[in-house]
Structure 1
C-alpha cells in the first residue's frame, strides 16, 4: 500500500518526548544519590527550575499554536461576502463532499457552474464599463481611436441604415461578380492578392508569420491548410457531410439574395462554390498521415513552391500580405501540406481556364462570410442560423447569442489590445494586487524547489538541474511591461483610418493589426512575446523562452484577491501557479525523457497515477484518457500538493488565518473548496483538443490523492475521495 505524504499533514504541536526524557534522566542523576543535604537541595532546586521552564515553554507553545492555527475571525470585507455568496450559489451543500466534491462545489441547480467562463465574462464587463466611460483623450491617441471604434460598433442604427452598401463597394473593388451586376474580370492573382492583403481572406490556404517549428526564436512565413466555413472531417459519415453541405448551400443562397442576385443565378453559383469546397477538402491529408510519413512540415523556398504550385503568384501574394517584410524568391517558407498545395494549384488552373466567373463567386462568397460580423443584422442572422444548424448536425451544444456590447468589446480588444490592456491593468491589477500575486508565486516556487530535493525517482544530479530550472524561470505577471508605455499606443495606430462605415473601420483596423504583427516579428524583443491578452483567464508556460505567464484577468476574484483569506488564494491561484510550474518538467515524464532517473521508480508512480484516474470511470465520471490528458492530470495532482504544502508553511510562519463570513468551513476546508472552484467548468469550456480532463475528474483526481482532504472533511476510509492507496509522483 502506498504511504501517505507527510508534508500534507496538518502542522502539530512540537513533540514533548525529548524534554520528558531529559527530566527523567535528571531525576536519576548521580548527584541525587549523594547522601549530603546540599546535594538533595540542589537536585530539588534544579527539578523545580526545569519544571517551571518546561511549563513556561509548553504554555508559550500552546499560545503560539492557538494563535497561529486557530481562526483570527471572519473576513468581513465586501470581497469576502461576495465570495461567500458565490460559494453558496454555485455549489450544492446537500451532496456528500466525500463522494462527489465536484457537485458539492460546482453543482448548482440543474446545471454546472462555470467559474472560468463567468470570470471571462466579468473581465469583458469591466472592459465594457471602461469603454462606456467617455473621457478626454489626446487627439489621435490609441485611447481616442479605441473609443471611436467601439462607439461605431455600438451604433447599430448607422450599420442598419448602411445595409449592404459598404459590402457592395468592396465587391466592386475586387472587380465585381456576375451574380448581381457587371463583372470586370481581374487577373486571378490580382484578386487573390487583394483578398489576402487588404481583406484578410484566404480562400485556398492559410498563411501567417510565426516562430519556426524547429527554431522557436526565428520567425518564418508558414503556409497551412485552409479553414472551411463547414465543419468537415475525414472520418465523417457521408450522410452527415451531405446534410452539412445542404445547410451551407442554403446559407450561400441567402448571401447572394441579400446582395441583390437573381435567385436562379445565385443557386447555380452557390452550387459550384460548394463543389469547389468539396474538392479542396478531398485534397487535405490528415495530420496523422503526415506524421506517419515524417512530413509534418517541409521547408521550401518561394521559387521552389512556385514550380510545384504554379497557379499562385507566391512572391506577389506574400509580399503584399507581409509588408513591410522584405521578400525574395529564395525566401524560405514552412509548408505543412505540400501535396495539398500541388493539387489545389491544378484545380485553380482548371477553373481559371474553364469557369473563371464561378471561381470569382467562390472567393467573394467566402469573403462575405468572413466580413459578416461587420455587416448589418440580416447577414449576421444568416451566419448565426448556419452556425446553430451545423452544431446540431455535429452534435455540439448550442451557443447562446452574445449581446452586442460583448461583440464590440471583443472586436475593440482584438484591434486595440495594447491600449485596452493598459486601461484594464490600471483598474484591475494595481501594485497591491501585483505584489500579493508575486508573493504567492514566490511561496509556490520555493515549495516546489523543496519538494524536488526529495523526489525518490530523481538522482541527485537531476534534482539539482531541476532546482536550477525553477530558480532560473522568468515570470510575467499581469501584463507585458511595454503595454503601459503611453507613447507606444500613439505610434501603434497611426495608420488606422476610421469610417465612413463600420465595415471600412474594421478593414482599416485589420490591416493595421497585420502590419503591427509583422513589425513585431521583425524587431528583436528583449522580452517574451505574449500569446494572449492581459484580461484572459488562462496561464501558460513558454518552453522556448522559459517563462511562465499569469495574466491579470486570471488573478481576479473568485480565484485571487489581496484581501481574501490565504486559504482561498493558495487553493485556487496557488494551485494554478504550481500546475504551470510543473509544465517545466513534462519532458521528464515522457518515455526516455529522463535517462538519469530511477526508471523503475518513475514508472511505478506513473502507472500508479494512471490506475488512480482510471478508477473513476466506474463511478459514473469521465474515464481517464492516458494519451491526451495524462500530463495535465499529473500537473493537477502535483499542483494541489505543492499549493497545500506552501499554504501550511505560510500558516506556520505568519500568524493566524481568517475564514469566510457565516460559512461553516474551516480554513483548510476553504482551501480545498477554492481549488474546486477554479475547476468548475462546463463541457463547453473544454478546448477542442481535450488536453485537460473534464471538471469532475480535475477535482476528484487530485483531491482523492491528498490525505489532508479526507482528514479535514472526515471522509471514511474506502469512500471515493479517501481511497486505500495514493500516488507520490511529485
Structure 2
C-alpha cells in the first residue's frame, strides 16, 4: 500500500481533513500527558491541567497553542519502534522488568488458568472495583496508567476546571469534591460531627447518653438516610431465571452483610467463624475507635466484648459464594409476608418501604434472598439479644448499629480513624495501597453526583467519532472471524449467528438530563465549602435514592466509571469513559485513534467472545505459538536466551492481542479509503503513525494483562515480518531469519 505523508508544521501541526467534521477544528491534546524525563512524576497533574483542561470544553487559543509543543515533546521522547525495534520490544507485561542494567527480563513460569471462564458474576457484585496504576517499566521511565486511572484523571480535570460558572448542580458537585480535598478542615473537625449525628439519632450508651430508641426505627433511619446495612445487605437486580425469558423486571435482593469482624470458612463444619488469630488486633481496633469517640477507658472493654460476641454469633451462618452456589441458596424468591414469618425480628415491610420510598411496596411483593439460612439465624440472634440484653443493659445491638454507621462514615472523618482501619488491615495481612486523595475524592463525588458527572462527560464525548470507530472495528472483527480455520462450517455459523445478532453502540443514558433538570434534582442539596462530613452524609442519601430508583427503571443506567464494553442482551455497549483524552480525541489523526483506541476496542471484543472461538477454532493455539516463535528467534539472536513453554492462557492472550492489532489496522485502512486526506504528524506515513501510536499503549491494564508473556509492541515486528504495508526502516531480523519465519 503506497502512502504519501502529509507534511506538517514544526512541533505539532494537524492539517484539516478535506471533509468538514465536528470537533476537528480543535487542536488535539497530546497522545499521552506524561512528564518529561527531567521532571518529577508528581508534577504530572500540573502539566495535565495545562494540556487537557479548558481547550476541551471551550475555545481557548492560548491553551490550544500550549498543546502543540507538549504533543511534539511526547512523541519525541517516546521510544521509536522503528529505530531500534529489537531493543525496544524485549521486555514483558508482567511484574518482570527489563532494564539496561540487568540485561534482560527475568523469565517466570507459565501461568495456569485464565479469567475468561469466570462467567458467574453475582447480581449483587458492584462493578466499582479499585484500579491500581502500573509500575514503572524500567526501559521507559514514564508511568503508563491503566484505563480506569486515565478516566479518573479526566474526571478530576472536569471537577477542578473553573472556566465558567456552570449550573448550580455542577457547582455543588465541584464544591463537594473540593471539600473532600480540604483535609485541614476534616482534621480540625475530628470526631465531633459523628458524635453530633449520634445525638441526633437518639444518643448512645457508650457516649454517656442513650434514650433507648426502638431497634427497627433506628435500623430504618440507618438504611434510608445513611446507606448503612448492619445486619443484611440490600441490592436491586434482575432474576437470572427470568432473563432467559426476556424479562427485564428488577427485584429487591437481600443478602448477608459485609461483617466487620474478620471471619473464615470451616470446610469441615460448613460454618463461618471468627479468625482466632485476628481477634486480638480486631479487639484493639475496636477499643481505639471507642477511645476516639470519647468512651471512658473503664467501660470500653464491656462494650467491645459484647460487640465481638454478637458479631461472632452473626458470622456463624454467613457462607462464601461458592458454597451458596452449590446449595442453590441464590435468588430464592418469596413474598415480604413469607420473609416476615421466617425472620420476625426485622420489620421487613417498614424497612423496605423506608429505603424504597415513595414506591408503594406491600407484603405481597416478591424479594430474592441469597442466603436464607443466614437471614433466619440473624433474626433469631437479634431477637435473643434484644430480649436478654437490651432492656437492662447498655444496648449491644444498638452499639453494633452505631459502629456499623461509623464504618460507613469513616471516609469523612479525620485520619485517626482511617489509620486505625489501616493498622488492622496490615495486622490481617491484607493491606491495600492507599489511593491518592484526589482519586478518593473523585470516587466519592461520583457516588452522589454521578448524574452530574455523566452529563459533563457526555458533553465532552465526541459521540459521532466514537460511534464510527466502534462500528468500523466491529465490522473488521466480523471479517476476521471468517478468516479463521474452524473445526467445521457449523462452528463458524454458530459463532457468526451470535455475533451478527449483536448491536454495538456507545453506552449513554437514554435521556440525558439537562442542566435545568439537574438543578431541580439537586435543589435540596446544600454543599458547604468546609464541611465535608455534612456533604458526605448528603451524598450517601443521594446514592441510596439513586440505587432505589433502579427498581423501576427499565433501561440500564450508564455507569460513568466503566472503561470496558459488556454484553447486555443483544447489545454490545461501549462506555463513554473509554473515549477520552489522551487515549482518544476527535482532533487526533485517525491513525492515532485507531492505533490506540481501535486496538483496545478490538481486544475487548475478542475477550468477550474468546470462549466461543477457542472451543471451535484451532487458530488460537497456532497463532499464539507462531508469535512466540518470532519472539524466541529475536531474543535468542540478541543473546537473551532462556526459553519456557507458554500456558494455554498465554497462547490465548497472544492470539487476542495480535488479532486485535490486525483488526484495528484493517479497520483503519478501510477508514483511510473513506477519508484519504487523514492528517498525520511529523511527516509520518499513515501506517507508521498508526503503529507508532499503538506502540505507546504498552501493556494495557486489564484482567488479562498478566497472561501476556511479551511486550505488545513486539507484535509490530511480527505483523511487519512479511508485509509491504510497514515502513522499510523496520529491521529486526536478518534475511535468513526473516525467510525462516512464517506469517502468523
C-alpha distance after superposition, 1:687-713 (max 9, x if no partner) = xxxx42328548549939953378655
Q: How far apart are residue 294 of structure 1 and its match?
A: 3.7
Kept in 1: contact 2:287–2:300 (CA 8 A):
yes
Inter-CA distance 302–99: structure 2 relative to 1 (3 Å threshold): same
Tell me whether 1:564 sits opposite 2:588 in the alignment: yes
Deviation at 1:447, TM superposition (A): 1.5
Q: CA deviation at 1:370?
A: 0.9
Residue by residue over 1:98-136, the C-alpha shift from the partner in whole angstroms, topping out at 9 and shown as x without a partner, is: 432657895456786325355234213312323x45626
Task: Map 1:554-703 onto structure 2 (within 5 A).
Answer: 554-582=578-606, 585=609, 588-589=612-613, 599=616, 602=617, 604-608=618-622, 624=647, 626=649, 635-651=656-672, 654-655=675-676, 660-661=681-682, 668=687, 670-680=689-699, 691-694=703-706, 696-697=708-709, 699-700=711-712, 703=715
Task: Check if 1:326 corresponds to 2:360.
Answer: yes
Instruction: Name which of 307, 310, 330 aligns with 1:276.
Output: 310
After TM superposition, the structure 1 = structure 2 runs for residues 302-313 of structure 1, keeping only pairs within 5 Å, are 302-313=336-347
Q: Output the CA distance in 2 between the equivalents of 1:717 and 1:196.
A: 69
Corresponding residue number in structure 2 for 1:492: 521
C-alpha spacing 1:631/1:287, structure 2 compared with 1 (3 Å): farther
Change (3 A) 1:547 1:109: closer
- Assess, with a 3 A threshold, how the Cα gap between structure 1 residues 109 and 645 changes in structure 2: closer, same or farther: closer
Partner of 2:29: 79
The structure whose residues are more often helix, as a share, is 1
Sort the Cα spacing of 1:218 and 1:571 in 2 relative to 1 into closer, same or farther, 3 A.
Answer: same
Match of 2:228 among 178, 201, 207: 201
TM-score normalised over the length of structure 1: 0.72
- Normalised to the residue count of structure 2, the TM-score between the two structures is 0.71
State the alpha-carbon separation in 2 of the partners of residues 519 and 370 from structure 1.
21
Deviations for 1:654-687, whole angstroms, at most 9, x for unmatched residues?
436665549xx87545534533544535xxx66x
RMSD: 4.4
* CA distance 1:199–1:648, change in 2 (3 Å): same
Other-structure match for 2:421: 386
CA contact (8 A) 1:230 1:244 kept: no
Greater shift, 277-286 or 84-93, is seen at 84-93
| Number of residue-to-residue matches in the alignment | 621
1:379-403 deviation line (CA, Å, top 9, x unaligned): x332145226515743556335424
Q: How far has the Cα of 1:502 moved from its partner?
A: 4.0
**Which residue, out of 537, 540, 543, partners 1:513?**
543
Tell me, what secondary structure is at the counterpart of 1:207? Answer: strand
3-state SS of 2:574 partner: strand
Alignment partners' CA distance in 2, 1:613 and 1:347: 60
5+ residue gaps, structure 1, are: 1-10, 12-64, 592-598
1:372 aligns with 2:402: no
Task: Say yes or no: does 1:410 pair with 2:422.
Answer: no
Aligned to 2:397: 359
Alignment of 1:25-424 (within 5 A): 65-67=2-4, 72=7, 75-76=12-13, 79-80=29-30, 82-83=70-71, 85-86=73-74, 96-100=87-91, 102=93, 106-107=137-138, 113-116=144-147, 118-130=149-161, 132-133=162-163, 135=165, 137=167, 141-150=168-177, 152-153=179-180, 159-160=186-187, 162-216=189-243, 217-229=248-260, 233-234=264-265, 241-242=275-276, 244-356=278-390, 357-375=395-413, 377=414, 380-387=415-422, 390-391=425-426, 393-394=428-429, 398-403=433-438, 406-424=439-457
Segments of 5+ residues of structure 2 without an aligned counterpart are 15-27, 31-68, 99-135, 633-640
**Shift of the alpha carbon at 1:608?**
4.3
Secondary structure of the structure 2 residue equivalent to 1:96 = helix
Contact map agreement 1:717 1:723 (CA 8 A) in 2: no
Cα distance change on mapping 1:144 and 1:563 into 2, 3 Å: closer
Taking a change above 3 Å as real, the CA distance of residues 666 and 619 of structure 1, as seen in their structure-2 partners, is: farther
Q: CA deviation at 1:468?
A: 6.6
Query: 1:202: Cα distance to partner?
Result: 0.9
**Post-superposition shift, 1:262?**
0.7
Is residue 223–residue 229 contact of structure 2 (8 Å, CA) maintained in 1?
A: yes
